[in-house]
Amino acid sequence: MARCLHFPLLINLALWIKGGLQTRRLLREARRPRLASEHTLRDILSISKDTVFGKEHHFDEILAASTDSELFAMYQHLVPVNDYEALRPYVERHKNGETGILFPGRPEMYATTSGTTSAPKWVPMTRKYLRDVYGKMSNVWVWNFIKHRKMALSGKVFAIVGKECEGYAPDGTLYGSVSGVLVRDLPPIIKKRYTAPASVMSIEDYAARNYTLMRLAIQHWDVTLWSTANPSTILELQRAVDENLELMIEDIEKGTLSDKFAIDNSIRQELKAYMRPRPKRAKELRELRDKNGGRILPRDYWKKLQILSTWKCGNTKVYMDKYLDYFDFEQTCYQELGYIATECRFGFALDLSNESVLFPHLHYYEFVPEEDMDKPRKRFLQIDELEQGKRYCTYVTTYSGLFRYNMNDLVEVGGMYEKTPTIHMVGKVNGIVSLTGEKLYEPQFIEAVHQAEEETKIKTKFFVGFADVNESDYHFYFEFADEETTQETADMFANVVDEKLRAINIEYESKRASFRLNAPIAHRLQKNAYARFKSACLEDGMRDGQFKFNLLMQDEKRREKFQVLILGDKLSNIRRNAMVRRSERDDRRSERTKRRQSRKEKRNKKKNKS
């Protein structure tokens, strides 16, 4: 017992030394964000000035600038905005063994994620970036947990991380998940607090992986920290408990891992060290199950949970609303994870709001006002020029060879952290769809569905919208809470969503009224459609920790995955859609006839007057 009490105190002291020092530095730099930005940009350019990219873009000339304003202006003038495809040729040279292309030497690893083309992104990570940016930000992040809940690390840590190694580049450099590598390299005293090794994420079968994660986690009563980027993961993991509870309890009782699931023998062997018979815990779980009507939730099996950390901004609220009653938030602190992407850790939430604090001494940031997004000449603003309540597109320059990199994200400015603005995610810029100039935003679509739910009292478990540029319409896919919902009801619900969108977005209303945009088409989805879709994406090679999903898209590849999940006869759906389109065409013809008749009557009246 004494050891149990002393352990978190020792951990907290170590984190105070590391995280506390880095937090104090952040506070100092946040009081002078423009100066910190200038120093960071100069340092990044100085490191890479003799590289291929640095010479091509005249880094030495930029560094000769005598003031911060001159430095920023020359950087904008001489270095174009980049997306990954613009940087891909440079990364390919690094992958094939060349050094000094984007940065001196070679990367420590590559973080892989899906790209805008069929080829994935290989985001290089330098040793300096992993050590001096990821590492130092992680120290601040974990120390922040301790500030809010002193016992956050007194028990087990349940962290969902990516697969540390997925393979090797042609030159032998590892590629995989940054989070997996960081967990791999944790000090043993911290790593042993984790409920499972990173190798669990290497289990190929999606259902088997979720079962294993939860079987290993709920055997512990003292999980005090749960961190997973995607809120949807919480729903999926709880479903694994709901569908396999008795089997899990039996495994926990015997110290086994069921043969029902396809798990590689090498992983099974490694997991033996994480399992032993726990009959007392099994008895406790059965009592909880019986007491709660056959279902147990995190608030039941982890009564000491101190911190839950996930994304809470952007479209993730759709998933959060479905599990808020799973937890006791008087006991558990629910904290926004922060603005984190494969390309960089843009910022972290350090208090109980959803605002992410920026680190101007570790990244160089640029921002384009939302109203400039479609302009050929965009205004690029510095960190000290942002205004509270306004929205911006984000660009970043990092120590890992990303120069003026377009994050393709829309953020909104919140309050101030010292003199540095905080931000929260609104959504991906590609969460904006425009078939005929309507510029329909993903948050508008989400709001319209929620308003339709409130008006009709029909609840959805999941929904997604796709734009069809060929037919000039939107397809709305709904998984309804009531599995007996008919197609007729789905059509009615989609019509209400359409009405709400027309009220929310004046351009959408204009395009619908002028028949430039057809009425949306409703589709009913099979049970657990989102999980099935995500599983299909993971089978195609996407990693769980990097799975990102918009609820409004123009993406035929993703739409095809939902087409196979539609309820009902496909042929009847096709016929129904054709009938709807014919009706729309008839309406357009009728409207044109009325307009022609009206113009003719006006001409006749003028002629009679004359």
Q: For position 133, what pLDDT does the model report?
A: 94
Q: What is the pLDDT of residue 538?
A: 74
User: Pick from 251, 259, 301: which is nearest to 276 by CA?
Assistant: 251
CA gap 310, 336 in Å, rounded: 6
Query: Would you kindly state where each structural domain of the chain is located, as residue ranges?
Result: 153-159+191-305, 434-568
Query: How confident is the model at residue 579, as a pLDDT?
Result: 47
User: Phi and psi (nearest 5°) for 344?
Assistant: -170, 165
Torsion angles phi and psi, residue 72, rounded to 5: -65, -40
What is the model's pLDDT at position 571?
A: 42
What are the Cα distances from residue 485, in Å, to 329, 460, 464, 478, 492?
33, 10, 17, 10, 11
Task: Please give the pLDDT value at position 79.
Answer: 98
Single pTM value for the model: 0.78
pLDDT (tens digit per residue) in 427-466:
878 677 888 778 788 889 999 999 999 999 999 999 999 9
Q: Are strands 167-168 and 460-468 parallel, antiparallel or unpaired?
A: unpaired
**Taking the C-alpha atoms of 226, 231, 236 and 238 in order, what is their torsion angle to the nearest 10 degrees?**
50
> Is the CB of residue 104 less than 8 Å from the CB of residue 59?
no
Segments of the chain scoring below 50 in pLDDT:
1-5, 116-118, 570-572, 575-576, 579
